[in-house]
Chains A and B, each alone.
Chain A
């Protein structure tokens, strides 16, 4: 039994953000989490194999507006002010250390060694990226119109204000941002810099987490998206790491009177005549509520938890058509501490073609021979993000490919940092199938739907359904698959709460 008015499916960061906002507004909320701990992708897990692994991301930040509105500083969340370093391994064995600040002397000096011209461009580039990210931030916190049925009364004002923000960027910047969204990372970076290692280092961030190559259209957009979420090229840490972020959100929910139940997986969202009735847990327990907000991905929520038979056929077709296609795997490597990897965010993105070739393999249902990697260290622990490890392997399956995944990732990293290989003591890996089974991510897609041009803005999660609602009255979506989502920012969670409170 519960006396909650609103049930929230999933205690990932977006579910918790929505819950905290609703609780803050005086609503009785109950968050239901399948796993034993809250935190979603930021929380560790026990895999089907029995292995335990930490959370999937080395760092994550919430938008400052969320930290402020939910008073998360009071709950222990503080952002690191220090500029984080992004280190790209160069083909010749050296490395390029970039700090995403317009006037970092060391960074400009490092670029100058590759190209004096590029060094001159760096401050302008960083300034542009920050302004472009600020625009995207503004767009993400604006509820998108329900095209094609635009209702000026509701959508008109926020859109006009967004247009005004865009206009204020100045004509040149505005035009450049609009152009950048559809460009490829190769085209975009080559407009700024002539030095391949710089372009490739930046392009690595552009393809990070998405099933796109450096030459794919729309990686200009994903670069700005990732830049916004990271605050630059490198991951920026928070106090207590990702766990600190989850802890702060959990406290925010609880202190506002919300409840969180872990080990309470939702098996079914109960619906009658297109109206939500509550949920049925995996234990069989039924909880009644007039409002259910799901932070699970849209496909899993709608086709899995609600079920296609309760939804209009065209909507089912649209939901089936959301492209998920995860292609990320993770490695957690325990070393003896002598791995000799640099501090910060380390990328194996030596050339633009290297990144495109790594992506090519997904077209053929294969794992990259030479994958793009992003590596972070915490003492002797090394976390490796591996792309591309496509969910949809052809002629193979992830049950048998796991050793090969681990071998290719370790060999690739050792190629650039030879000391690493000898330091390895144990390896845990997470394949796209693990992401699906353990974290509930359809097709292992970390973003709950690919960040591609036809799946963003008013087309996310689906054209005509950008207002967090669904054809089921009382069922809302608040996860990463919504506008603003993909990555850790909390924006979809905040937008969902606002849409719900607006009524």
Chain B
């Protein structure tokens, strides 16, 4: 028998988030996933329906503590982020949140996340993967401190049309005036929190950031406040369906970080990922990848991430040919599926899902120029009873689902 301490050595263990005492009690199917070296609940139920509909109809409570988080402070804090990202950080107001990717000097994405201006000289950066080396490298010659807060800072995402009502009950200050992509300080159960109106679902939603030691108290307070609104602890699998509907992509699923790409072709630029709106070529000064992005902007991108709606009648036809009703996946599928224009493959889907709210089979697809133009008719591969068939589909702009209450 090995010593218990050997088995529990940190090298062999996934870390537990500050909410583990609650989530582990609730995660009855033991459907755990790995997220940033942490145990993350895939779902708290055997199916995803209840959690998915909580996001779309009432309120879902999601533990997002595994996100990598940095605090960036000092005289040159804004300057560092201005250099790191293609967005104009100097124009950011205190309390504002930017979503952005960041690139290597070839203008290819390394990671993406949010930048929050906490104060004049203080920012918070979230990332999918550790970025300390990259931040330190970009900070050479600057007066700035970069501190990783991943483990000290716990985070919950409260998503859904009822999230505002719940927060108004739970928080010391009402959140009614908190605008989309803004952050404000508040208190829950007497504990200090920062609340940002952000999320990964494309619905009305908030993310609540707190000291890890206050995590359980705040979880309990939110669950109590949300009881009458149907607050539902939700795993990352239902969120995965919602984020496709919202047209949001994921590192390592929908794109490969330039720092991990085996071959140049695996890399993606912000333009190719539909993030052209985050690239501010008019901003002052050097930023990483500027030259390459200027060139791509001038010459046009050869690929683009767009939405694809699979034509239902076409899908029905393929299944009817073998005497079956159409089959759709029960959760988001993270796998590459070829997309064709006539006999030629012109791209691929990286995540596809059935959208319960839209009643549509949808996919995030990477298409070559000129097929990424909205309205273009293409075909996507479907496997019908072990046979590869093609089903007609239409290119659409993202997001697929954009409820009016998201930004209101």
Chain A residues engaging chain B, CB cutoff 8 angstroms? 271-274, 303, 307-317, 320
Contacts and interface: CB of A to CB of B under 8 A. Distances in A.
A311 B83 CA distance: 10
Contact of B290 (A274, A309, A315, A317): A274
Contacts of A320: 140
A274 B291 contact: yes
B290 A308 contact: no
Contacts of B105: 312-315
Nearest to A306: B141
A317 B285 CA distance: 20
The 3 closest A-B pairs by CB, nearest first: A308-B141, A308-B140, A312-B105
B74 to A, nearest CB: 14
B104 interface: yes
A276 to B, nearest CB: 13
A309 B286 contact: yes
A308 B76 CA distance: 13
B288 interface: yes
A312 B290 CA distance: 10
Contacts of A314: 104-105, 137
B141 A303 contact: yes
A272 B284 CA distance: 9
Main secondary structure of the interface of A (DSSP, over half): helix
B77 to A, nearest CB: 13
B138 interface: yes
A204 B140 CA distance: 38
B79 A309 contact: yes
A315 B106 CA distance: 12
B140 A316 contact: yes
B134 interface: yes
Interface in B337-375: none
Contacts of A313: 104-105, 134, 137-138, 140, 288
A303 B141 CA distance: 8
B328 interface: no
Nearest to B105: A312
Contacts of A272: 285
A272 B137 CA distance: 20
Nearest to A304: B141
Contacts of B137: 313-314, 316-317
B7 interface: no
B106 to A, nearest CB: 9
B290 A273 contact: yes
B142 interface: yes
Contacts of A309: 79, 83, 140-142, 285-286
A267 to B, nearest CB: 15
Interface in B118-142: 134, 137-138, 140-142
15 contacts: A272-B285, A273-B290, A274-B286, A274-B291, A303-B141, A308-B140, A309-B140, A309-B141, A312-B105, A313-B137, A313-B288, A314-B104, A316-B137, A316-B140, A317-B137
Nearest to B142: A309
A471 B83 CA distance: 16
B138 A310 contact: no
Interface of B: 79, 83, 104-105, 134, 137-138, 140-142, 285-286, 288, 290-291
Most buried by A among B79, B138, B140: B140
A144 B265 CA distance: 29
A272 to B, nearest CB: 8
A23 B134 CA distance: 42
A347 to B, nearest CB: 41
Contacts of A315: 105
A310 B142 CA distance: 11
B132 to A, nearest CB: 13
Given A272-B285, A273-B286, 4 more contacts: A309-B142, A309-B285, A313-B134, A314-B104
A92 B290 CA distance: 66
Contacts of B142: 308-309
A193 B141 CA distance: 51
Contact of B141 (A273, A307, A312, A317): A307
A464 to B, nearest CB: 12
B339 to A, nearest CB: 33
Contacts of A316: 137-138, 140-141
Contacts of B134: 313
Contacts of B138: 313, 316
Nearest to A313: B137
B83 to A, nearest CB: 6
B146 to A, nearest CB: 13
Contacts of B141: 303, 307-309, 316
B267 to A, nearest CB: 15
A296 B343 CA distance: 60
A312 B83 CA distance: 10
B290 to A, nearest CB: 7
Contacts of B83: 309
Contacts of B290: 273-274
Contacts of A311: 286
B140 A310 contact: no
Nearest to A317: B137
Nearest to B134: A313
A317 B133 CA distance: 10
B296 to A, nearest CB: 16
A421 B285 CA distance: 60
A309 B82 CA distance: 10
A316 B140 CA distance: 8
B291 to A, nearest CB: 6
A309 B140 CA distance: 7
A320 B137 CA distance: 10
A320 B285 CA distance: 22
In this complex, which of B142, B285, B286 has the most chain A Cβ atoms within 10 angstroms of its Cβ? B286
A70 B79 CA distance: 46
A315 B140 CA distance: 11
B104 A303 contact: no
Contacts of A310: 286
A353 B140 CA distance: 41
Nearest to A471: B105
A303 B142 CA distance: 11
A52 B343 CA distance: 82
Contacts of B288: 312-313
A274 B285 CA distance: 9
Nearest to B138: A313
B392 to A, nearest CB: 44
Most buried by B among A273, A312, A316: A312
Contacts of A273: 285-286, 290
Contacts of A312: 105, 288
A85 B290 CA distance: 57
Contacts of A274: 286, 290-291
A189 to B, nearest CB: 42
B215 to A, nearest CB: 34
A307 to B, nearest CB: 5
A273 B288 CA distance: 11
B282 to A, nearest CB: 11
Most buried by B among A272, A313, A314, A317: A313
A271 B286 CA distance: 9
| Of B134, B141, B291, most A-chain CB atoms within 10 Å | B141
A271 B79 CA distance: 16
A111 B248 CA distance: 80
A314 B140 CA distance: 11
Nearest to B80: A309
A355 to B, nearest CB: 37
B2 to A, nearest CB: 41
Nearest to A303: B141
Contacts of A303: 140-141
Nearest to B289: A312
A310 to B, nearest CB: 5
Contacts of B285: 272-273, 309
